[in-house]
Chain A
Amino acid sequence: MKSKKEIIVVFKSLDDLSKEAIKAIKTRTAKVQPENIIYFDSWTSFRGFMSLQKLEILAMISSVEPNSIYELMRLLDRSLSAVQKDCEALEQVGFITLVKKKTGRGQVVPRLKFNYDKIVVKLPEHPYELSFKAAA
């Protein structure tokens, strides 16, 4: 049985990011983002991003491991463009990777970024982590 891991969504404001970066550079302390952590500036950002359709995509990739976005589209019974758009967004943020097949017609295989089966959302520590307007 495959060992499963978790991906953690953490909220951090732009202000906190800059303070943290300045401190790390000043002290020359390496601070590199681990692959299992994804930062959003606020709860509203994450809630707006992670739609039910995107969660379905993640679940389907995890359980069925489709060989192409086309196959994923058929499994989900949605339009190809919508599934493609959601997959690209999930890849850009870091939930999945889109692996280009070397053979065939340049098919793209959607895969989880790593073998995780949980998305853990860390509770916001400050009220300003609830929306971008407040953070900005």
Chain B
Amino acid sequence: MKLIKKRILTYDIHSYKVCFVADAKLIYDQQIHFLEGRYEVRLTAYEVPKSKKFPDGVKLSCVLLDLLQKIPRLLLDNHEPYGYHLHTKMQHDKAHRVSVDVRDFEEAIEYFMGHVPRVIKDEI
């Protein structure tokens, strides 16, 4: 697959998130379905120039989607001025953010994955 650096990049996760990043290169995009296809976890990462906005040079997005109700249940991403943060009330309040005490993308991904079973514990 040919990956081309884009000046302006638009991406969306089932139309819930649109973001513009200069000189971004897609380095990871995978999704897994579970619990009989009811939920989807999608991890997307872009390599971006290191800056105050993205200190580790990564624009990360981890989302847990409820495909039955067509709502994102949990979203972790990073941007200024919040750094890595969780959106736990996407359904009602997209601006609601919870700070996440992590140092980099590695801890952020592990944090998100640790939260997924807790969020859907009623269905497990």
Q: Are A40 and B33 in contact (CB under 8 A)?
A: yes
How large, as a class, is the contact surface on chain B? 20 to 34
Total count of chain A residues near the partner, CB < 8 A: 35
Segment at the B interface, from A9-17, A62-70, A103-111: A9-17
Q: Are A14 and B45 in contact (CB under 8 A)?
A: no
Given the complex, which residues of B lie within 8 Å of A18, measured CB to CB? 43, 109-110, 112-113
Q: Are B28 and A89 in contact (CB under 8 A)?
A: no
Least Cβ–Cβ distance between B59 and chain A, in angstroms? 10
A81 at the interface (CB under 8 A from B): no
A53 at the interface (CB under 8 A from B): no
Least Cβ–Cβ distance between A40 and chain B, in angstroms? 5
Q: Are A32 and B26 in contact (CB under 8 A)?
A: yes
Least Cβ–Cβ distance between B6 and chain A, in angstroms? 14
A93 and B65 alpha carbons, distance in the complex (Å)? 11
Q: B27, B31, B117: which contacts A25 (Cβ < 8 A)?
A: B27
Q: Are B67 and A92 in contact (CB under 8 A)?
A: yes
Q: Are B47 and A28 in contact (CB under 8 A)?
A: yes
Given the complex, which residues of A lie within 8 Å of B25, measured CB to CB? 30
A39 and B47 alpha carbons, distance in the complex (Å)? 24
Given the complex, which residues of B lie within 8 Å of A41, measured CB to CB? 32-34
Q: Are A33 and B41 in contact (CB under 8 A)?
A: no
Q: Among B29, B30, B31, B37, which residue has the most Cβ atoms of chain A within 10 A?
A: B37
Given the complex, which residues of B lie within 8 Å of A45, measured CB to CB? 33-37
A127 at the interface (CB under 8 A from B): no
Q: Are B106 and A30 in contact (CB under 8 A)?
A: no
Given the complex, which residues of B lie within 8 Å of A38, measured CB to CB? 33
Q: Are B37 and A89 in contact (CB under 8 A)?
A: yes
A49 and B35 alpha carbons, distance in the complex (Å)? 8
| Chain B residue nearest in CB terms to A51 | B36
Q: Can you list 22 A-B pairs with a CB-CB distance of less than 8 A?
A: A12-B32, A14-B41, A21-B30, A21-B43, A22-B110, A24-B45, A25-B28, A28-B27, A28-B47, A30-B25, A30-B26, A31-B27, A32-B29, A39-B32, A40-B32, A41-B32, A45-B33, A45-B36, A49-B37, A93-B37, A93-B40, A93-B67
- State the 8 A-B residue pairs at the shortest beta-carbon distance, nearest first: A48-B36, A49-B37, A41-B34, A136-B117, A39-B32, A92-B67, A18-B113, A24-B28
